[in-house]
Amino acid sequence: MRFNLNFIKEFIEIDIEPTKLKDSLTMAGMEVEHIEKVEGDWVFEVEITSNRYDWLSMVGIAREISAILNKKMNIKYPKIKEKQVLERKIIIENQNDCPFYVGRVIKNIKVKDSPEYIYKNLKCTLNSINNNVVDITNYCMLKWGNPLHAFDEDKIEGNIYIRRAKNNEKFIGIDGKEYTLKEENLVISDDKKIIALAGIMGAKNTEITKDTKNVFLEAAIFSPITIRRSKRVVGIDTESSYRFERKVFYKNLEFASIEATSLLEKFADGFYYGYKEVPKKPIIKEKKIIISISSLNNYLGTNIKRKNIVGILKRLDFKIKTKKDKLIVSPPLYRLDIDREVDIYEEVARLYGYNNIETRIPPTSVNPEIRSNYDFKNEIKNLLVNLGFNEIISYSIVAQKELERLKYNNFIKLVNPLREEENALRVDLILSMIKTIRYNLNRKRENLKFFELANVYFKENNKIYEKPMLCISVIGELENFFYLKGSIEEILKLLVDNFYFKEDRLNNFDNALKIFKENTYIGFLGKLNKIVLEDFDIKTNIFFANLDIEVLENLKSHKFYKPFSIYQSIWHDISLTISKNVKFKEIENIIKSKPYITDIKIINIYKTKDTEVFTIRIFYQSDQRTLTSQEINTIHNSIREELAKLNGVIIK
């Protein structure tokens, strides 16, 4: 929000430099992000916290400056002699959406330029100048914090209704754009058409033009939640919605409406014809909050005297009654954010000065427990990094339509998403991984090896579950699949004994292998099928592995370490031509059944139409002695002989 110093000086005398005022406001909690000089006036840009509705007005900011500088204010509250009650009916469909609505009619106005002081104030703050009627409503909104809207009264047909929109009902705003509405939208309508999107924007069909003669001036209180949801549906954020979604104070609403009416009489040559309020004015009871001086000081870690506390609260327009060590505090009615003792403690701290409170570490006897799987997850991450993989971190909120493209139906849909592209929780990590790979491929990056360890969310048997999963991926040709498989084996060797792979069919994958320990399912790995690749416009193979972290943690066994053998390791190669119906597991089992085998590596792959040629390197080593050439050759030849007996295997 922006405010200009000359506007504030209408209510309070300010005799300090703008830069010092900037620092004082920031230290008191109203963060000033930027100041600049515009047309001879200082303009402040401030960040307003969501609970401080009262700062969204020049009067509210002037009150804050008055309290900080300890200076008196001079605010003239407008008054008006009410006229006749209007015959036109104002019908509120649901008072939860609109608790209070007042309309005033000003007749025989002349649309022309605004007076100079209004022009200058709007130029510095909103940087938006229209005509005297619209500018007066904006000026009063800025001054009192409550939005107003002026309709061309002659274009309103029949009664006025505050109601919810019908699904797919159309609305053309004063910006000239057409919007398709839903039931979440609150609208103002007459007997035939929508004349405003309540609390957000007026309609083109009743806007003020140079030909306008009579004005219907709207002032209302709308539900903050309703306005917030309504603006999300249409994707509009305005000065009005910014204020309505943070609450409005009905007294300021009356002041804004009355002053706008008086200004229209004065600067638009109109006359006040009549008004209507629906329903009765809200009644706000004065709050009484009892605080203890000692509790306040204990809470803040200070030793502020009673008279200083009372002085600070009075500067903030609080009413005070004293009772021994306690104070009975009544916040002003416009301070809708003050409800509890701690709210008052905060107000005292702000004006006392956070910089005056001694910095110290509070005593604690808490012994925080580190989550048991924290170290376990880090162990897996470090291992994958050492294997050459890069970690990615993705959003847990994804698009429902993309989950449906991958044939998921157990996802959790968000009730009130910010946008359609982020309306469901991820079921697994594969979708984000696909999108990350596509992003990198489009930037000509190669040799991609990624992993992500994060939580996923899904529904099962009418229950909602959250669990950690590990997703690993590589791209490229078949040798990269074996690299991925080898990496999975390295992880599992560290954690689980006696695991095995089993071929199976999985949605979205070709050549999938499920991973088990006994009958416990651990995860899978496989090649993403061509349909999914084409759907995401990816032209290279992607191999995935998915592991259940909770299962791995539960299966994790204790590891026993032994020293490396001090004796020489010797390796021999075998080249095999394998037909596609032969499982590599059969070859691996034959090799590993022999003594002195410490490791097996695939060092070369050549693929033809019907066969695959592998070069396998076998490592031999003893813990007790150096193996002789005769011993190694005997074992190696026996391996060759047994492999040659397999159907579909040719030894080269």
Rounded distance, CA 544 to CA 526, Å?
6
Residue 365's pLDDT is 65
Q: Cβ(416)–Cβ(229) under 8 Å?
A: yes
Residue 410's pLDDT is 87
Q: Do the bridges between strand 84-85 and strand 271-278 make them parallel or antiparallel, or are there none, so unpaired?
A: parallel
CA atoms lying within 13 Å on the CB side of residue 482 = 14
Architecture of domain 289-354: 2-Layer Sandwich (3.30)
| Chain segment 241-294, per-residue pLDDT in tens | 999 998 888 899 999 999 999 999 999 999 999 999 999 888 888 999 999 999
Which CATH superfamily includes the segment(s) 84-278? Phenylalanyl-trna Synthetase, Chain B, domain 3 (3.50.40.10)
Per-residue burial over 14-34, b if 16 or more Cβ lie within 10 Å, else e, is beeebeebbebbebbbbebee
**3-state SS string over 351-372?**
HHCHHHCCCCCCCCCCCCCCCH
Architecture of domain 372-555: 2-Layer Sandwich (3.30)
Average per-residue pLDDT in the chain?
90
Query: Tokens 């019907």 correspond to what residue?
Result: 610
Rounded distance, CA 226 to CA 186, Å?
7
**Beta strands across the sheet bearing 319-323:** 289-292, 326-330, 319-323
CATH 3.30.70.380 in the chain is located at 570-651
What's the CATH fold of domain 570-651?
Answer: Alpha-Beta Plaits (3.30.70)
| Chain segment 362-374, per-residue pLDDT in tens | 666 666 655 567 8
Residue ranges in 239-322 assigned as alpha helix (H) = 239-244, 250-267, 293-300, 306-315
CATH 3.50.40.10 in the chain is located at 84-278
Residue 368's pLDDT is 60
CATH 3.30.930.10 in the chain is located at 372-555
Rounded distance, CA 492 to CA 206, Å?
70
CATH 3.30.56.10 in the chain is located at 2-69, 289-354
Which residues pair with residue 277 across a beta bridge? 102
Rounded distance, CA 549 to CA 371, Å?
14
Below-70 pLDDT ranges, the chain: 362-372, 478-479
CATH class (in words) of the domain with range 2-69: alpha beta
Both tokens assigned to 524: 């899978």
